[in-house]
Amino acid sequence: MPPDFIAAWLNKNEIFTAMTIMEYWDGLVTTVQLVFLCLIIGLVFAVPLAILRTVKNPFVSGPVWLYTYLFRGTPLLIQLYIIYYGVAQIPGIQDTFWWEIFREPFYPALLAFTLNTCAYTTEIIRGAIISTPHGEIEAAKAYGMNWFMRMRRIVLPSAARRAVQAYSNEVIFMLHSSAIASVVTIVDLTGAARNIYSRFYAPFDAFIFVALCYMVLTFILVFAFRKLENHLLRHQRPVGS
């Protein structure tokens, strides 16, 4: 039960009723699910892909380069259209088990977002890997570490420290990019705002409220990443602080 002054305020306006607040809440849950899942899956695949991308053999690094080039070189909206509408046009797809997955808009959107964020994350991690100081690698070699052990103990931990700031930007961009999920009928935060806007013809109320929701989510992300950076980069702090 909300406090009296909120209940009184809710009674006075016709847009923020219990029903529309619930629509926004459902939208928030969808947005968070979508963004969280695509970021996790994208990150899991990005680490091995980034390592493959730094390999000297062009037959190994070439395909990864092509993948990141394709997905960073085209707009996410186009990727989403191709996956959502394109897949439905494949003859006979409706009779296969794939259709169980692609029938709902959530999974095509998740796939498009994952492929997109994975491409960007791959390049972020690759950049961090290739900027590992040569001295660290030579020292590791001098200790007799093989390639696998060097990666695990030296290169990846220090790359993670260098990548975390750029990656926090990618996470925030992904949150905002997820707004386009509403074009394929997903009722995420933006989808809820569009539905409510078209019902009440009140663009300011509907969209400013949803903008505030995104800002709160961004604030939480920024806060979490600052904590993470403080933790990972604590060796760089001046002594005694």
Partner 1 sequence: MKKLMIAASCALAMFAGGAHAEGRDLRIAFDVPYEPFEYKDENGNLTGFEVDLAAAMCEEMKANCEFVIQAWDGMIPGLIARKFDLIMSSMSITPERAERVLFSEPYYNTPGGWFGPDNFSADVTDMDAMKGKTVGVQRGTTMDTFVTEEMTGIVTIKRYTTADDMVLDLEGQRLDAVFVDYPVGEQTVLSKDGFKEVGEPVKLGEGVGVAMRKRDKKVAEEVNAALRKLKEDGTYDAIMKKYFAYDVKV
Task: By CB under 8 A, name the binding residues for partner 1.
Answer: 85, 88-89, 94, 99, 103, 105, 183, 185, 191, 194-195, 198-199, 201
Q: Which is nearer to partner 1, 23 or 170 (CB)?
A: 23
**Pick from 220, 36, 39: nearest CA to 117:** 39
Helix (H) or strand (E) holding 61: helix 58-73
**In the block, residue with structure tokens 């690759």:** 126
**C-alpha gyration radius of the chain:** 22
Q: Look up residue 240 and give its two tokens.
A: 């005694």
Q: How far is the CB of 43 from partner 1 (least distance, A)?
A: 30
Residues constituting the chain = 241
User: What whole-number distance in Å separates Cα of residue 112 and Cα of residue 139?
Assistant: 41
Nearer residue to partner 1 within complex by CB, 174 or 193: 193
Please name which of 24, 29, 34 lies closest in space to residue 178, comparing C-alpha atoms.
34
The smaller minimum CB distance to partner 1, of residues 42 and 191, is found at 191
DSSP classification of residue 238: P
Start-to-end CA distance of the chain, whole Å, equals 45
Rank residues 97 and 201 by Cβ distance to partner 1 and give the closer one.
201
Smallest gap from residue 133 Cβ to partner 1 (A): 52
- What CA–CA distance (Å, rounded) separates 143 from 178? 46
State the minimum distance, in angstroms, from the CB of residue 199 to partner 1: 7
Cβ proximity to partner 1: between 28 and 186 the closer is 186
Q: Which is nearer to partner 1, 195 or 218 (CB)?
A: 195
The least distance separating partner 1 from the CB of residue 113, rounded to whole angstroms, comes to 19
At closest approach, how far in Å is the CB of 191 from partner 1?
8
C-alpha distances in Å from residue 195, one per residue of 57, 192, 210: 51, 5, 12
CB of 223 to partner 1, least distance (A): 34
